[in-house]
Amino acid sequence: MTNLAKIEFLRMGRNKKYLIMSIGMPVFFFLVFTAMIKLPNHEAQDTFMKEYLMSMTTFSLTSFSIFTFPFEIIEDKKNGWRNLLYRLPVTDIDVFIVKVIKMIIFFIISIILVFLVGFLVRGIHLTFIQWLMSGLLLLFGAIVFLSLGTILTNFKDEKTASVFSDILFLALAMLGGLWFPTSQFPEWLQMLSKLTPTYHFRELAVGYISNNEIPSKSILIMIIYAIIFISISLIISKNRKQDIA
């Protein structure tokens, strides 16, 4: 598995478009919206900047989970890389673990870069513990959110997967309050928003810096979603194998 990890890390830069989109787009949105929106109260402005930084970091991590992770696996199946790996003494679990480890590295890079933009460009100040805990909570959420990406890996056609991922990504981002505060939504839409995994993904960090306590409810809901997503993915995969047989 060590050799597999070395090979996989050498291929880390092959999907540059996903890397640029996953980090560049959230940073761009953060800089634009924080420059455009000016609240009259300094304290309210400071709170908005902090929460929007966490929202855009969540947006970045969600992009990795919905695009980079599943599309690498789909491409590996399509170009024969997965079949080539079967000649090596590795299992499907080994391949999956290495993919997840690589994604964790991407997550850490994303969190650090987006946080640095907030700190250096917009002058956002948090205590060291707040930066650290927010980053760790978002990292936890990102790892859990990979479970949604496992469903997308079951697509055979890359174009179909791309269309579905685009719609899913935008819908979850908007409904989860990553672009606009859910407090601005109509009451019925706020209720719907609080049912989405992205809302609770964002809430991991926003809830922590707002209340100075770990949002255990959002952690539990994220874990429940992960169980549901993995179960759906396993059912789809099992049915596909039965159809082939």
What pLDDT digit, counting tens, does each position of 96-147 carry? Answer: 888 899 899 999 999 999 999 999 999 999 999 999 999 999 999 999 999 9
**Residue 73 falls inside a structural domain:** yes
| Core vs surface per residue 185-207: b (16+ CB within 10 A) or e | beeeeeeebbebbbbbbbbbbbb
Are 56 and 27 a contacting pair, CB within 8 Å? yes
Structural domain includes residue 89:
yes
Q: Is residue 245 part of a domain?
A: no
Tally of domains in the chain: 1
Range of the domain at 65: 2-238
pLDDT band at residue 50 using 50, 70 and 90 as cut-offs: very high
Q: Is residue 29 assigned to a domain?
A: yes
Position 76 confidence tier, pLDDT thresholds 50, 70, 90: confident
**What is the average pLDDT score of the chain?**
88
pTM of the model: 0.91
Q: Is residue 102 part of a domain?
A: yes
Predicted pLDDT of residue 243: 58
pLDDT band at 180 (very low <50, low <70, confident <90, very high): confident
What is the percent of the chain with per-residue pLDDT over 70, rounded to a whole number? 87
pLDDT tens per residue across span 198-224 = 999 999 999 999 998 999 999 999 999
Q: Is residue 106 part of a domain?
A: yes
Of residues 243 and 164, the one with the higher pLDDT is 164
Assess whether pLDDT exceeds 60 at residue 34.
yes
Residue 208 has a CB neighbour count (10 Å cut-off) of 21
Q: Would you say residue 173 lies in a domain?
A: yes
**pLDDT band for position 183 (cuts 50, 70, 90):** confident
Whether 165 is covered by a domain: the verdict is: yes
